[in-house]
């Protein structure tokens, strides 16, 4: 009965009082005949001519500079699989709400009926002039890699696949902090990643960028450890093909310092947790049901630090900590892309924020009397109002420093987080 009630509550939320979660509002006065003539003909001809003569003027005279397209083909929607493009629309609308509420970024959600990556790429390329950025969402691997790479190459605005890079940024920030609390160095940590899809590949790429060593990273898919003797690997998996005798998940977990699960529910056991090194770090991120329940993991080991993708456990790896603020920083300097250095800057900013004293408003949102950096608080809360002050400035500064920004560092920003912040 409770399950039915929750289902109906969700359906009612999306239906009433108006179907969907988005609307468009007018941002200029529009009450007189004179304002009509400015908003449309003949006045609108002036910005048209200005943009014709200099396309950069679109950022000045239209909403392009604060408008992101959240785009899917519906091939990997949540944990529901290939639902088709139209069924992905509620998720894309939800993403738009998060963009707006957390970072005041406007969004058009766009659902593209295209199974062929070439068709999807062509569609997005043709509509891209409308937007200041493209957020790709819920696109299945391995096509998501091909799509993102092609669009980054073709377009002069940021293209960001959140299922890859958003997850990777939050995982990396949390892992750096957790390892520090456990007294371990990222460069020395043995890391096992169960799941070799978009999120797994991007997370391991970024954690290596932050200082982990490739030879210490063991990626595991349905067929076992990804090793150099396998002949069934796509190019993304091949990046992580270890020269190792390890073949099974059991082999890999023996003595591991870190486990990252981006696979499915109940895929590891208490025995796997007991196989790990002293003071392990466990990120069981399958949603809604993790690779192992926290109660089971903590019963097996009392010296671990654990994160999940759920809000009802400590240390939630939640992409809302990243994408609204990353785009905010990129848009504010009119960036042409979101590059590796901008992702690294976001990791460092998130890691630093978790170490700051926690405001009363955050404690109240979590109904907790005390919260501070430690085993149950390695990642900032999504309710922390300082996210907007930490991440966009860091991302914007990295964009300026790496030459992908069209403008300088915004004068209204706080100074970005020190780029020498420890990475463990």
pLDDT (tens digit per residue) in 190-216? 999 999 998 999 999 999 999 999 999
What is the token pair recorded at 116?
């062929």
* pLDDT score for 367: 86
Structural Rg of the chain based on CA atoms: 22
Q: Of the ranges 111-125, 218-232, 283-297, 405-419, which one carries the lowest mean pLDDT score? A: 405-419
Residue 418 reports pLDDT greater than 60:
no
- Asked if residues 303 and 368 have their Cβ atoms less than 8 Å apart, the reply is no
Residue 419 reports pLDDT greater than 60:
no
Closest alpha carbon to 72 in 116, 120, 118, 106: 120
- What is the distance between the alpha carbons of residues 39 and 45, in angstroms, rounded to a whole number? 10
pLDDT tens digit sequence for 80-132: 889 999 999 999 999 999 999 999 999 999 999 999 999 999 999 999 999 99
* pLDDT score for 420: 47
- Asked if residues 120 and 147 have their Cβ atoms less than 8 Å apart, the reply is yes
* pLDDT score for 400: 97
- Mean per-residue pLDDT, 250-263: 96
Q: Which of 4, 7, 61, 95 is catalytic?
A: 95
CATH superfamily of 10-157: Malic enzyme, N-terminal domain (3.40.50.10380)
Query: Is the backbone of residue 204 left (phi > 0), alpha (psi -120 to 50) or beta?
Result: alpha
261, β-bridge pairs: 194, 284
Dihedral, 267, 271, 272, 275 alpha carbons, nearest 10: 180
Query: Is the backbone of residue 403 left (phi > 0), alpha (psi -120 to 50) or beta?
Result: left
- Mean per-residue pLDDT, 235-259: 94
260, β-bridge pairs: 193, 283
* pLDDT score for 3: 63
* pLDDT score for 57: 96
* pLDDT score for 412: 87
Which strands, in side-by-side order, build the sheet including 106-111?
106-111, 67-72, 133-136, 159-161
What is the token pair recorded at 218?
């063991």
Taking all residues of the chain, what is their mean pLDDT, rounded to a whole number?
Answer: 93
pLDDT level of residue 423 (50, 70, 90 thresholds) = very low
- Asked if residues 171 and 346 have their Cβ atoms less than 8 Å apart, the reply is no
Consecutive H or E run containing 13: helix 2-15
Residue 417 reports pLDDT greater than 80:
no
Residue 20 reports pLDDT greater than 80:
yes
* pLDDT score for 369: 86
* pLDDT score for 78: 83
Q: Of the ranges 115-124, 146-155, 251-260, 409-418, which one carries the lowest mean pLDDT score? A: 409-418
- What is the distance between the alpha carbons of residues 282 and 297, in angstroms, rounded to a whole number? 9
pLDDT tens digit sequence for 139-177: 998 899 999 999 999 999 999 999 999 999 999 999 999
Q: Which of 4, 7, 28, 40 is catalytic?
A: 40
Question: Does the annotation count 40 as an active-site position?
Answer: yes
- Exposure class string for 317-352: b at 16+ Cβ within 10 A, else e: bbbbbbbbbbbbbbbbbbbbbbbebbbbbbbbbbbb
The CATH label, of 3.40.50.2300, 3.40.50.720, 3.30.70.20, 1.10.3720.10, for the domain at 165-308 is 3.40.50.720
Fold agreement (10-157, 165-308): yes
- What is the distance between the alpha carbons of residues 202 and 208, in angstroms, rounded to a whole number? 10
* pLDDT score for 238: 93
- Asked if residues 323 and 346 have their Cβ atoms less than 8 Å apart, the reply is no
Residue 4 reports pLDDT greater than 80:
no
- Mean per-residue pLDDT, 366-373: 89
pLDDT tens digit sequence for 324-352: 999 999 999 999 999 999 999 999 999 99
Consecutive H or E run containing 306: strand 305-308
pLDDT tens digit sequence for 274-318: 999 999 999 999 988 899 999 999 999 999 999 999 888 989 999
Local structure of 259: helix, strand or coil: strand
Which sequence spans correspond to the domains of the chain? Answer: 10-157, 165-308, 319-401
Residue where the block lists tokens 């020395």: 188
Let me know the angle formed at the C-alpha of 66 by 115 and 85, rounded to the nearest 5 degrees: 20
* pLDDT score for 415: 72
Query: Which residues, 6+ apart, have CB-to-CB distance to 178 below 8 Å?
Result: 281, 305, 307, 375, 378
* pLDDT score for 422: 45
Closest alpha carbon to 259 in 185, 355, 178: 178
Closest alpha carbon to 417 in 314, 318, 329: 329
Question: Does the annotation count 95 as an active-site position?
Answer: yes
């Amino acid at each position: 009965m409770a399950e039915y009630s929750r289902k109906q509550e969700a359906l009612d939320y999306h239906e009433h009082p108006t179907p969907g979660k988005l609307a468009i509002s007018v941002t200029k006065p529009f009450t007189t005949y004179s304002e009509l003539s400015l908003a449309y003909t003949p006045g609108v001809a002036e910005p048209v001519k200005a943009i014709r003569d200099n396309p950069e003027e679109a950022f000045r005279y239209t909403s392009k500079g604060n408008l992101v397209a959240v785009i899917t083909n519906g091939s990997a929607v949540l944990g529901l699989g290939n639902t088709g493009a139209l069924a992905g629309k509620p998720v894309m609308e939800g993403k738009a709400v998060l963009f707006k509420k957390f970072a005041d970024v406007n969004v058009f959600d766009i659902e593209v009926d295209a199974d062929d990556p070439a068709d999807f790429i062509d569609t997005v390329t043709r509509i891209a002039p409308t937007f200041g950025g493209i957020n790709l969402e819920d696109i299945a691997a391995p096509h998501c890699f091909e799509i993102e790479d092609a669009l980054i190459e073709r377009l002069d605005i940021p293209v960001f696949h959140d299922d890859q890079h958003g997850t990777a940024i939050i995982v990396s920030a949390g892992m750096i902090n957790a390892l520090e609390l456990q007294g371990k160095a990222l460069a020395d940590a043995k890391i096992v990643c169960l799941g070799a899809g978009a999120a797994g590949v991007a997370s391991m790429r970024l954690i290596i960028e932050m200082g982990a060593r490739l030879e210490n990273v063991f990626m595991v898919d349905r067929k076992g450890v990804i090793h150099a003797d396998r002949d069934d690997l796509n190019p993304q998996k091949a990046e992580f093909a270890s020269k190792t005798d390890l073949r099974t998940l059991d082999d890999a977990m023996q003595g591991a310092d870190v486990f990252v699960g981006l696979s499915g529910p109940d895929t590891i056991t208490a025995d796997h947790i007991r196989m790990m090194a002293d003071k392990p770090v466990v990120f069981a991120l399958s949603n809604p049901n993790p690779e192992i329940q926290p109660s089971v993991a903590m019963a097996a080991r009392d010296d671990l630090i654990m994160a999940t993708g759920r809000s009802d456990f400590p240390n939630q790896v939640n992409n809302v900590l990243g994408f609204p603020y990353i785009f905010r920083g990129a848009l504010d300097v009119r960036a042409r892309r979101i590059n590796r250095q901008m992702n690294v800057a976001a990791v460092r900013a998130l890691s630093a924020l978790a170490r700051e004293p926690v405001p009363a408003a955050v404690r109240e949102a979590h109904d907790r009397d005390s919260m501070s950096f430690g085993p149950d608080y390695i990642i900032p809360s999504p309710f922390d109002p300082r996210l907007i002050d930490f991440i966009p400035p860091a991302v914007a500064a990295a964009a300026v420093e790496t030459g992908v920004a069209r403008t300088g560092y915004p004068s209204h920003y706080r100074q970005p987080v020190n780029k020498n912040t420890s990475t463990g």
